[in-house]
């Protein structure tokens, strides 16, 4: 399967146009969106964005998205938040939002809730889609230590997903290939994304 992975559009019209150019160029079978579609709203931006797409899409919200975006994602059959979806023999499990931040953003939840929600739907060898990175992996900036979720790392250690894809920390975009392949595609608002090919293994090409 050929999967375009994006995150952190943050309400950017330019970012939306860039996503369309990647879709036109790569013809993906699936688009994965790792949250922060809007920048503290409005929901209408997300509705217009998803309505403009002609590719199957799975998405989780980010901490800068209003929680009401879940109703839209449900309506569009794109919601992966706290859910499990199987497409062409690949299982996708997701959770959006973030643990509490110093900035009191729109969609923050206790880290323990992330573990409880994911553990109820997660399975081995799935593809894990979150907004927040796992603690200690592609989750820091020049000025901070790890900002990721310890609950997400616990889920990875317990279930060994083949791929964990996430966003949230723009400065930490990159790829780490271990037993689980870790991918932060970077911010689409800044011109970054990644294409994932799943055949016998996980192959990742960073874009931007």
Cβ(182)–Cβ(138) below 8 Å: yes
pTM of the model: 0.98
139: containing domain: 2-207
Q: pLDDT tens for residues 19-75?
A: 999 999 999 999 999 999 999 999 999 999 999 999 999 999 999 999 999 999 999
Cβ contacts of 114 within 8 Å, gap of 6 or more:
95, 97, 99, 130, 132, 149, 151, 152
Report the DSSP beta bridge partners of residue 194. Answer: 5, 206
Give the CATH number of the domain where residue 191 resides.
Answer: 3.60.21.10
Q: What is the mean pLDDT of residues 126-141?
A: 97
Number of structural domains (the chain) is 1
Give the pLDDT of residue 99.
Answer: 97
Q: pLDDT tens for residues 164-174?
A: 999 999 999 99
Q: Residues 33, 35, 144, 118: is their CA dihedral positive or negative?
A: negative
Interatomic CA distance for residues 117 and 119, integer angstroms:
6
- % residues pLDDT > 70 (the chain): 100
Find the range with the poorest average confidence among 6-20, 49-63, 140-154, 182-196.
140-154
Does the pLDDT at position 143 exceed 90? no
> What confidence tier does 200 reach under pLDDT thresholds 50, 70, 90?
confident
């Amino acid at each position: 399967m050929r999967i375009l992975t994006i995150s952190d559009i943050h309400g950017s019209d330019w970012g939306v146009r860039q996503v369309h150019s990647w879709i036109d160029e790569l013809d993906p079978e699936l688009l994965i969106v790792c949250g922060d579609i809007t920048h503290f709203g409005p929901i209408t931006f997300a509705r217009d964005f998803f309505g403009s797409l002609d590719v199957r899409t799975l998405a989780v919200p980010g901490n800068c998205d209003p929680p009401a975006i879940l109703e839209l994602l449900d309506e569009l059959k794109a919601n992966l938040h706290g859910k499990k979806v199987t497409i062409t023999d690949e299982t996708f499990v997701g959770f959006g939002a973030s643990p509490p931040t110093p900035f009191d953003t729109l969609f923050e939840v206790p880290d323990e809730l992330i573990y409880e929600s994911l553990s109820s739907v997660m399975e081995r060898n799935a593809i894990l889609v979150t907004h927040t990175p796992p603690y200690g992996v592609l989750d820091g900036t020049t000025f901070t230590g790890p900002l990721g979720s310890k609950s997400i790392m616990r889920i990875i250690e317990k279930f060994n997903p083949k791929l964990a894809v996430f966003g949230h920390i723009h400065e930490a975009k990159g790829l780490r290939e271990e037993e689980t392949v870790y991918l932060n595609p970077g911010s689409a608002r800044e011109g970054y994304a990644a294409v994932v090919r799943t055949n016998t293994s996980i192959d990742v090409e960073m874009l931007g």
